[in-house]
Chain A
Amino acid sequence: MSETRTSTGQAFRATLKRDLLIAYKRKNDVVNPFMFFLIVATLFPIGITPEPERLGEIAAGVLWIAALLASLLAMDSLYRADYEDGSLEQLLLSSHPLYFMVLAKNIAHWLVSGLPVVLVSPLIAYMLNLPPESYLILFVTLLLGTPILSLLGSIGVALTVGLGSRGLILAVITLPMSVPILIAGTLTVQQTLNGASLLGYLAIMGAMLLAAISLAPLASAAALRISVN
């Protein structure tokens, strides 16, 4: 009867579909980080200055930090429910490589928590008076950068999912790992204002994304095995 066994691709799709379905049924988990992103970004003009020139200078950094914090807030829901109800054990015991199962969960998670932030970023950029020539590049850097944040965050969540009180430990693990992406993202956006060639900067971000896709799920998978043990 082994001819009815699923291929890894089918198991990957089933996991992706399941996680998207869960996100659709638990809209809070999707909407809260998104609202958090909008609110954090709006606090800066109130707290610092409403002057358009000065806002424009910090806009890229504000957007990136808000996206980073929103991603962190959304991370906790990635494996928690699965750990508590035993679905994670089923995932670990499937005959398919855990790498692909973790990748499917990460992709589903980014689609519902990262992508909305990327899509709304030009609107926030307009509010923060980012120079119009930077809109496109900001959008592209966030599109390349937020998946990296999700993939790195997944490692932290996988390590801490078995702990009773997670709280700040997740931020302490994840935020330092995110600093290189923050630097690359904001630097790329600032270079548009200096008129420098951007291909090199974008290539670095692309390389970071590829490295994260190929390595981070391996680390997450190993961390999940430790957490369940």
Chain B
Amino acid sequence: MASSVASTNNDPNSVPTIPALLDARDLFCERDDRILFQALNFSVTEGQVLQVKGSNGSGKTTLLRILCGLNDAYRGTIRWYGRAIESQAEEFYAALLYMGHRVGVNKVLSPLENLRWTCSLQQQVDTDELMVALAEVGLRGFEESQCYTLSAGQQQRVSLARLLISNAKLWILDEPFTTLDSLGVKQLEALLRGHADEGGAVIVTTHHQLKVADLRELTLG
């Protein structure tokens, strides 16, 4: 498992001794008579960061949405700790943190109110914890402003604050670097490294060259 390149592997006998955190076998997805990907196999284990690469329109976002269960227009199997996700949906979703293109930040609410709601869908949080997380992503002083007064990068940061609070094991992040400044990029990379070191797993799409040890890559298209 030390290889740093795509773990595309068609041999069904190569089952690892510990079941992978997330294991996708033989994924096939078609859109408008165009095959986005077929016979796609990959897995992520604890402590790994998987970067999904590919040109625009190659199906990166579609793949991530399939993994989260937001899109069901695919064939193939996805297993969570060796078992089908449908049989353990509650555990899977409790361990999942998804950040999409649309960051999930309501424009009229403040960063604090937004963060409180998104976090309390998963876990209990108190205000101090939220304030610390917002300060850490550089939103000190903006906690109570309405989000439509913030820039796109700041709204992205509201969403990133979730990463600091969440207990989720698997992070699925779709283009999290797009609107961040260089300092924000460094901070997010440190977060990804920290999460992997603590035994979590990350699946991330970005065109950015990630500075993370033991990075795995999966190229689509």
**Interface pick from A11-19, A137-145, A202-210:** A11-19
Specify the chain B residue showing the minimal Cβ separation from A93. Answer: B98
- Give the docked Cα–Cα distance between A229 and B68 (Å): 11
B94 touches A228 (CB 8 A): no
The CB with the most chain B CB atoms within 10 A, among A2, A22, A93, is that of: A93
At the interface, yes or no: B181 with Cβ under 8 Å from chain A? no
- Give the docked Cα–Cα distance between A25 and B167 (Å): 31
B80-104 vs A: 1/0 string, CB under 8 Å? 0000000001111110101011111
At the interface, yes or no: B70 with Cβ under 8 Å from chain A? yes
**Interface pick from B25-33, B51-59, B121-129:** B121-129
A67-104 vs B: 1/0 string, CB under 8 Å? 00000000000000110111101111111100000000
Taking a contact as CB atoms closer than 8 A, the residue among B70, B72, B103, B122 that contacts A94 in the complex is B122
At the interface, yes or no: A32 with Cβ under 8 Å from chain B? no
Where chain A touches its partner, the secondary structure class is helix
**Interface pick from B5-13, B108-116, B203-211:** B108-116
- A221 to B: closest C-beta gap in Å: 13
At the interface, yes or no: A21 with Cβ under 8 Å from chain B? yes
B146 touches A90 (CB 8 A): no
Specify the chain B residue showing the minimal Cβ separation from A86. Answer: B102
Residues of B near A96 (CB, < 8 A) are 121
- B13 to A: closest C-beta gap in Å: 33
- A98 to B: closest C-beta gap in Å: 10
- B88 to A: closest C-beta gap in Å: 11
At the interface, yes or no: A4 with Cβ under 8 Å from chain B? yes
Specify the chain B residue showing the minimal Cβ separation from A7. Answer: B124
Range for the number of chain B residues in contact with chain A? 35 or more
Taking a contact as CB atoms closer than 8 A, the residue among B69, B100, B113 that contacts A86 in the complex is B100
B109 touches A25 (CB 8 A): yes
With contacts A86-B103, A95-B93, A228-B70 taken as known, whether A22 is within 8 angstroms of B123 at the C-beta atoms is no
Which residues 126-185 in A have Cβ within 8 Å of B in the complex? none
The CB with the most chain A CB atoms within 10 A, among B91, B96, B105, B122, is that of: B122
- B30 to A: closest C-beta gap in Å: 15
- A140 to B: closest C-beta gap in Å: 34
A6 touches B103 (CB 8 A): no
- Give the docked Cα–Cα distance between A91 and B109 (Å): 16
- B194 to A: closest C-beta gap in Å: 15
Specify the chain A residue showing the minimal Cβ separation from B167. Answer: A1
A45-59 vs B: 1/0 string, CB under 8 Å? 000000000000000
- Give the docked Cα–Cα distance between A5 and B119 (Å): 10
Residues of A near B116 (CB, < 8 A) are 14
- Give the docked Cα–Cα distance between A138 and B39 (Å): 63
Residues of A near B145 (CB, < 8 A) are none
At the interface, yes or no: B4 with Cβ under 8 Å from chain A? no
- Give the docked Cα–Cα distance between A81 and B102 (Å): 11
- A27 to B: closest C-beta gap in Å: 10
With contacts A14-B117, A91-B121, A93-B96 taken as known, whether A85 is within 8 angstroms of B73 at the C-beta atoms is no
- Give the docked Cα–Cα distance between A21 and B116 (Å): 12
Taking a contact as CB atoms closer than 8 A, the residue among B93, B105, B124 that contacts A85 in the complex is B105
- B163 to A: closest C-beta gap in Å: 14
With contacts A21-B109, A95-B94 taken as known, whether A5 is within 8 angstroms of B104 at the C-beta atoms is no
B121 touches A85 (CB 8 A): no
Q: A18-B109, A86-B100, A86-B104 are in contact. List 9 more A-B contacts (CB 8 A).
A: A18-B117, A85-B103, A89-B102, A93-B96, A94-B121, A94-B122, A95-B91, A95-B94, A229-B70
A-B contact pairs, 25 of them (CB 8 A): A4-B167, A5-B122, A10-B120, A10-B124, A11-B120, A14-B120, A15-B121, A25-B108, A25-B146, A81-B107, A85-B107, A86-B100, A86-B102, A86-B104, A87-B118, A89-B70, A89-B100, A89-B104, A93-B69, A93-B70, A93-B96, A94-B93, A94-B122, A95-B91, A229-B73
Which B residues have a C-beta under 8 Å from some C-beta of A? 68-73, 89-94, 96, 98, 100-109, 113, 116-118, 120-124, 146, 167
Which A residues have a C-beta under 8 Å from some C-beta of B? 1-2, 4-6, 10-11, 14-15, 18, 21-22, 25-26, 81-82, 84-87, 89-96, 228-229
